[in-house]
Structure 1
Amino acid sequence: MQTITLGSNGPQVPTLGIGTWAWGDTLFWNYGKEYGAEQVRGAFFAALDAGVNFFDTAEIYGLGESERLIGQFMKEADRPVQIATKYFPLPWRFSAQAVVDALTASLKRLQVDHVALYQVHWPFDFLMSQQTLINALADEVEKGRIGAIGVSNYSADKMRQAHKFLADRGIPLAVNQMNYSLLNRQIETNGVLDAARELGITILAYSPLAQGLLTGKYTPDSSPSLTGARKLDPRFSQKGLEKISPLIKALQQIGDAHQRTPAQVALNWLIAQGGVIPIPGAKTANQAQQNAGALGWSLSPDEVTQLDEISHSCR
């Protein structure tokens, strides 16, 4: 299994993870209607069978249900599992004790005494300063309840600030989790990717398949009925699908050459960027198996360049 270090000296994890926003979420992903606990349990164990044992969750995913499900599944598993979860800086959380309490609650739902990675979900300050927040997280590293500290959706400047606060405590910032895919390459131009490489920070790429657009399942001629969050995304409109059609065709052609799917090609392109871990979602065992097919092979430099160029023309 290909592995990567989180940040400069964090835990070793596979170069592919699983995002679990949809596990237990009824608001955006119709959990309990279109799929349920048995389906996501199948995804969990299919991922483990494929060597993918890194799962990203958050306290707000399904209002804690995602963490609870993962905790149950880990109890059944006889293999090591590495968990990343997140703290949400809610307005009424204004002291370091709020971080302690939130982490304690997450660990209880997960039924573990520590997690590999604990991330700040959004760069909100409200009544708690970033320095207070970061110092509270550093305290938890020293207690052993967190293996590494990450942030999510942080700008280059905010990421540098968090990095500095942690450096003052002798702890590296390991991760910035960002929206990154062939259809969302903003971090390449807004300074985030450059700063991450300079500081040795790993990018966790969420929505790496652009909510399914890069799977090839959605085309101008044939598109499944839209549910959940996809109903709100203009990229799934007829016009949006026509715009990305050249990229989907390129993914299919390259995939055919490697006997891989468009989704596997899109995920492999992210891995090829270096210092990037895609964390696609998976609601079923089949989806988890398909995700894992992005590992064990590599795009050629020419194919990476080809996708770069077509991707830019489709934005």
Structure 2
Amino acid sequence: MSPIANLQTVTLGPGGLVVPALGVGTWAWGDSLFWDYGKAYSDSDLSAAFDACLDAGLTLFDTAEIYGFGQSERLIGRFMQQRPQQAAQPPVVATKYFPLPWRFSKQSVADALAASLDRLQVASVALYQVHQPVSFLLSQKDLMQALAAEVKRGRIGAVGVSNYSATQMREAHGYLAEQGVPLAVNQVQYSLLHRKPETNGIIDTARELGVTILAYSPLAQGLLTGKYTPEADLKPAGARWLDPRFSQSGLTKLMPVIGALKEIGEKRDRTPAQVALNWLVAQGNVMPIPGAKNARQAAQNAGALGWQLTTDELEQLDQLTQRYC
């Protein structure tokens, strides 16, 4: 039996693609500015992570043209070529278009997509998202029309957005609906330490419209793994150490949450990270996309699925993190 058979699933938008309820974020794949690609981990580590994800049943890989200035897409394209095609669980690729100021025509959208497909070495992608809700010379209406045209052309399976507010999401949904195309996802920052989507209308609007939430930074860039504590005095690699939450005082404030994640995890032989990811899945209509820089992290992420937190445990974590709403 395929590992995917035992995992919870989520549907990307109304009547869309059904995938495991946990994806794989690949911002760190090829990015040496914010992350420490090329120093703390290599292409071979990432290739092993790619295979470990698929072996565990995690099939959706979320990338973007801007990640590593195209390097993330190139790596995924190479890894897909190197892996024998297995019909049971082929990789599902989601990438993103960045609305740069000089992209002022519908043709520029088509050209950006073509460049991403070339780096990925594929003819189409399952999901194509707008990275930021920025309008320079290309209006949101024209942008959504260009994306709808690519759905009809067959180069993208579904349209998504990223970092869109409730109002912006509703606007994009309306423009796509005029073209007979649903809005599949809105990718936003969402974790136990960043619960703003619950109070700013994004979650409610997404449910109303049938839009799936993709949760990026679901482990708060490592803070929810339990790896960082005031006593350990361990600094994260890359630019993350600039985040005041990683300071000793910042970590001290997080200890009640980390302690609860550890306590719940110990009862179930799960890690704090797996508990934190499971909490997000339990919210419904939410797909976390944690990163994985090696096979060990990939396998650990997959362990967030296949079990459920109790009502009491969910309530405990909810109460402890109310301040982050």
CA contact (8 A) 1:203 1:276 kept: yes
Amino acid at match of 1:89: P
The answer for the alignment partner of 2:92 in structure 1 is 82
Amino acid at match of 1:172: P
The answer for the alignment partner of 1:227 in structure 2 is 237
Q: Distance in 1 between matches of 2:308 and 2:119?
A: 37
Q: Does 1:176 align with 2:186?
A: yes
CA contact (8 A) 1:243 1:314 kept: no
The answer for the alignment partner of 1:116 in structure 2 is 126
Note the 1:85-164 alignment, pairs <5 A: 85-164=95-174
The answer for the alignment partner of 2:214 in structure 1 is 204
Alignment partner of 1:204: what SS?
strand
CA contact (8 A) 1:25 1:66 kept: yes
Q: Does 1:18 align with 2:28?
A: no
Amino acid at match of 2:252: E
Q: Does 1:38 align with 2:48?
A: no
Amino acid at match of 1:46: A
Q: CA RMSD in A?
A: 1.0
Equivalent in 252, 256, 270 of residue 246 of structure 1: 256
- Point out where structure 2 has 5 or more consecutive residues left out of the alignment: none
Shift in Å, 1:312: 1.4
Q: Does 1:300 align with 2:310?
A: yes
Q: Distance in 2 between matches of 1:290 and 1:146?
A: 30
Q: Distance in 2 between matches of 1:126 and 1:302?
A: 47
Q: Distance in 2 between matches of 1:96 and 1:300?
A: 48
Residue by residue over 1:235-273, the C-alpha shift from the partner in whole angstroms, topping out at 9 and shown as x without a partner, is 111111011100000000100111100000000000000
Note the 1:61-80 alignment, pairs <5 A: 61-77=67-83, 78-79=85-86, 80=90
Shift in Å, 1:105: 0.5
Amino acid at match of 1:271: V
Shift in Å, 1:313: 4.5
Structure 2 length normalisation: TM-score?
Answer: 0.95
The answer for the alignment partner of 1:259 in structure 2 is 269
Alignment partner of 1:221: what SS?
coil
CA contact (8 A) 1:246 1:314 kept: no
Q: Distance in 1 between matches of 2:299 and 2:17?
A: 24
Shift in Å, 1:131: 0.4
Shift in Å, 1:278: 0.3
Residue by residue over 1:143-172, the C-alpha shift from the partner in whole angstroms, topping out at 9 and shown as x without a partner, is 111111000000000000000001111111
Deviates most, 100-109 or 232-241: 232-241
Alignment partner of 1:150: what SS?
strand
Alignment partner of 1:170: what SS?
coil
Alignment partner of 1:83: what SS?
strand
Identity of aligned residues (%): 66
Shift in Å, 1:180: 0.1
- Point out where structure 1 has 5 or more consecutive residues left out of the alignment: none
Shift in Å, 1:225: 2.4
CA contact (8 A) 2:133 2:162 kept: yes
Q: Distance in 1 between matches of 2:225 and 2:32?
A: 23
Q: Distance in 2 between matches of 1:116 and 1:234?
A: 37
Q: Distance in 2 between matches of 1:94 and 1:270?
A: 37
The answer for the alignment partner of 1:215 in structure 2 is 225
The answer for the alignment partner of 2:200 in structure 1 is 190
Q: Distance in 1 between matches of 2:26 and 2:309?
A: 27
The answer for the alignment partner of 2:320 in structure 1 is 310
CA contact (8 A) 1:29 1:228 kept: yes
Equivalent in 279, 304, 323 of residue 269 of structure 1: 279
CA contact (8 A) 1:244 1:314 kept: no
Q: Distance in 1 between matches of 2:63 and 2:219?
A: 17
Q: Distance in 1 between matches of 2:314 and 2:158?
A: 31
Shift in Å, 1:227: 2.1
Alignment partner of 2:233: what SS?
coil
